[in-house]
Chains A and B, each alone.
Chain A
Amino acid sequence: MKKVVTGVVGNDIHVVANRLIDISLQARGFEVFNLGVNTSLEEFIDAVVETDADILLISSLNGEAEGWCRDLQFLRSEYSLRDVVFVIGGNLAVGEAKQSDIVPKYQSYGFDLVFHQVDLNTGLDTLEAYMKERA
């Protein structure tokens, strides 16, 4: 069973979306470690280390993820987490933003999959396909 650490990054309290992600992941057979809302990037990385998770799935709805996730590359390098898949989804910008601008930006931060304003099931389908391909 693949292990996923998830939660909402930064000063963001969108708990309903967080619960829906948790339930959907469990329904798809993942073992879920849900850190809930208001979680810092360091806590996410630390939870991945403590659980030896396969996937880190960060969600953000208020658009502030950009400010909170810039240190991902640095934190990844602290713990040699090469095999972990890093995913971020939700509303990833404050105000209007194009998919074509947002995705490369977050990829440059170190995320493998970026879902900006993509519905949950589509995002999770893509994640599963990605994991299958890697295996």
Chain B
Amino acid sequence: MSKLLIDVGSTYFKVCQQSGISQYFRDFKKDIYDDLVTKCGNIFSQYHKEDVFICSSANGGLSTLIIGLTNSFSLKFAKNIAFNSGINIIDTILYSKIEETKAPLELVDVVIVVGGIDSISNVFDEKLLNYLQKVQYSNIVYVGTHQDAKFLVDNIPAIKILGNIITGKLHVNETELKEFLTNLYQADIVGKEDIKHLYELTSNQIYSTPYIVNRSLPLIDANFEVVNPFIVVDIGGATTDIHYSRDLVRDNILTESEYDRLVFKKLGVYKSRETLVFAAKNNEFVYELLSYLNVTENILEEESEKALRILMQLSIFLVLYKVSRLNPMYVTLHLELLKTVVLTGGITKVLSYEEVETIIVFFYKKVMNLHAIPTIVMDYEYAIWTLGMRNNEARS
């Protein structure tokens, strides 16, 4: 019997069978399980639980605050590992300035504390404890010199101690922290009561969608007209993910995979619409972009088909802007080397090729000062997601 693949997004369910892909708009009044069974109950009845594979990106993405000893080592290493584990960094704090630094107002999903090689001690002291008292967090992990681990365990409840991410030769040791963050991200998605319920429909592990899309990347050029280096931009209702070839990052320090990903939790067009509009209004290019699209800023407040299209165009621009050299907070991609932009997710159901091209032309002209743009590939049928699911299923 063939397999049934389901992607639970924050706005749509995507259902893939042998006969093709169909999608269903979510009913936000119902929980995910009830909604899915109401809409696809007859489909589920045709499959055994072991033939059903589910991934979810509903409200995905965790936030982190990183406290580190230096910019060049602790913070740089931890930032890279966090970004590549699908975590949003809300702030980084240099330990020498911790007393002058304000604590974030929002709840932080995970605080990462890092600093020093294992042969040094007494890096962290009361200053850290005083600062942490002001921070609201759900998890805290320590990945610095092991000689300070006892002090932290004795003074910080529920702190998780992992191997130092800085080796004795000042190189990065990503393994333990990356696994911890990836599991936390995975647990955040599948641990939601709504998602747990879905195990009544499948006997297989439920994965996060960004993980599944990332798994498809090595196969992507065999299935699409894609030239390396490329990026895949997955714009959905709650989050926007960008997956990129390592070739676009000159100083990347991680080595395990050829592709990395970033998850932008607040750049979705439905569930995080307000934060998307906020990010847009604070971007120096956006008013010029709106004028280029022949609309005024009032469109951002409207609830119309036209407004949705403009928001989607803005999210393409903002995600490219966030990984460009103008925004050093995130990983900087060398977009001048980019050969192909692949768009997937809900955006491909709304925007036309020409509308996407308009934005990419604007971005390259204004931000990159280039007239040539990369090739644009639209994944209209969510084929990238099904490719990743099948690849993952074949591996497991």
Residues of A within 8 A of B (CB): 33, 35, 40, 42-43, 45-47, 49-52, 78-79
B321 within 8 A of A: no
Known: A78-B96, A79-B96. A49 touches B169 (CB 8 A): no
Top 4 A-B residue pairs of the complex, sorted by shortest distance between their CB atoms = A46-B70, A46-B72, A52-B120, A43-B72
Minimal beta-carbon separation of A99 from chain B (angstroms):
32
A sample of 9 more A-B contacts (CB under 8 A), given A50-B115, A50-B116, is A45-B70, A46-B70, A46-B73, A47-B70, A47-B170, A50-B69, A50-B70, A52-B119, A78-B96
Minimal beta-carbon separation of B240 from chain A (angstroms):
32
Residues B116 and A46 in contact, CB atoms below 8 Å apart: no
Complex Cα–Cα for A52 and B117 (A):
9
- In the complex formed, the residue of B with least CB distance to A33 is B170
Within 8 A of A (CB), among B144-201: 166, 169-170
- In the complex formed, the residue of B with least CB distance to A5 is B170
A residues less than 8 Å from B166 (CB atoms): 50
B80 within 8 A of A: no
A residues less than 8 Å from B74 (CB atoms): 50
Per-residue A-contact encoding for B82-106, CB less than 8 Å = 1, 0 else: 0000000000000010000000000
Interface centre among B115, B117, B166 (most CB of A within 10 A): B117
Provide the main secondary structure of the chain A interface: helix
Complex Cα–Cα for A129 and B117 (A):
28
B296 within 8 A of A: no
Complex Cα–Cα for A15 and B115 (A):
28
Tier of interface size on chain B: 10 to 19
Complex A-B: 6 CB contacts under 8 Å: A35-B170, A50-B70, A50-B73, A50-B117, A78-B96, A79-B96
Complex Cα–Cα for A79 and B95 (A):
10
Complex Cα–Cα for A106 and B129 (A):
40
Residues B115 and A46 in contact, CB atoms below 8 Å apart: no
B residues less than 8 Å from A42 (CB atoms): 71-72
Residues B72 and A51 in contact, CB atoms below 8 Å apart: no
Complex Cα–Cα for A51 and B96 (A):
15
Residues A47 and B169 in contact, CB atoms below 8 Å apart: no
Complex Cα–Cα for A45 and B72 (A):
9
B residues less than 8 Å from A79 (CB atoms): 96
A residues less than 8 Å from B69 (CB atoms): 46, 49-50
A residues less than 8 Å from B72 (CB atoms): 40, 42-43, 46-47
Complex Cα–Cα for A47 and B119 (A):
13
B residues less than 8 Å from A40 (CB atoms): 72
Residues B116 and A47 in contact, CB atoms below 8 Å apart: no
Known: A50-B117, A78-B96. A33 touches B71 (CB 8 A): no
- In the complex formed, the residue of B with least CB distance to A51 is B117
A residues less than 8 Å from B96 (CB atoms): 78-79
Complex Cα–Cα for A79 and B123 (A):
12
Complex Cα–Cα for A47 and B73 (A):
7
Minimal beta-carbon separation of A65 from chain B (angstroms):
19
Minimal beta-carbon separation of B125 from chain A (angstroms):
14
Minimal beta-carbon separation of B357 from chain A (angstroms):
38
Complex Cα–Cα for A43 and B72 (A):
6
- In the complex formed, the residue of A with least CB distance to B114 is A50
B residues less than 8 Å from A33 (CB atoms): 169-170
- In the complex formed, the residue of B with least CB distance to A42 is B72
Complex Cα–Cα for A47 and B117 (A):
10
- In the complex formed, the residue of B with least CB distance to A53 is B120
Minimal beta-carbon separation of A75 from chain B (angstroms):
11
Known: A33-B169, A33-B170, A47-B170. A52 touches B116 (CB 8 A): yes
